Amino acid sequence: MAILELHAAPGHLIRRLQQIAVALFMTETSAYDLTPLQYAALLGIRENPGCDQTTLANYVALDRSTIADVVERLETKALIRRKPGTQDRRTKRLELTAAGRKLLAAASPAVGAVQDAILAPLKASERAVFMGLLRRLVHLNNERSRAPLRLNGEESRPPKTA
């Protein structure tokens, strides 16, 4: 494969777009000392209070080692707390702290701005087509991931288009 072919390859373009998305996120949310994965984990915990790390990993589509690192950092920042499970004390249940809830509320408008900025170069009609195709590709390739998305223990379904 020649370098020009690489630059036109879907995998390379997806990786580049992900780099751009992370750069936009870090710029827009710089005041919050938060990464995209930490934000996703905080949202996942808010939506599933008391979940364990495995459930959270499935909910936000992260592998076990990555979610362990993210949870550790969030706990160090006092944004979440781990409590022993009621059935199995070895299982740790995750909860947002007041600081975690406050940070999520404060950062959410900036994260929304990032999503808008990613799609801003496209026309409105192109955005809808792009997002539909992107959702479809992710859904159809979900099981090939090292960390497939599993909502409530089930295979992911493509999100409905707006």
Q: What residue ranges do the domains of the chain occupy?
A: 7-121, 123-162
pLDDT confidence of residue 146 = 87
Q: What's the whole-number average pLDDT of the chain? A: 91
CA distance 27 to 110: 10
Q: Rounded to two decimals, what is the model's pTM?
A: 0.87
What pLDDT digit, counting tens, does each position of 114-153 carry? 999 999 999 999 999 999 999 999 999 999 988 989 887 5
* % of the chain surpassing 70 pLDDT: 93
How do beta strands 150-151 and 154-155 pair? antiparallel
Angle among Cα 138, 122, 28 to the nearest 5 degrees reads: 80
Query: In this model, does residue 98 exceed pLDDT 50?
Result: yes
pLDDT band at residue 162 using 50, 70 and 90 as cut-offs? very low
Residue pair 99/78 in contact (Cβ under 8 Å)? The answer is yes
Predicted local distance difference test score (pLDDT) of residue 88: 73
At residue 32 the predicted structure's pLDDT band, cuts being 50, 70 and 90, is: very high
Helix axes 98-119, 10-28, angle to 10 degrees: 130
In CATH terms, is domain 7-121 a member of 3.40.630.40? no
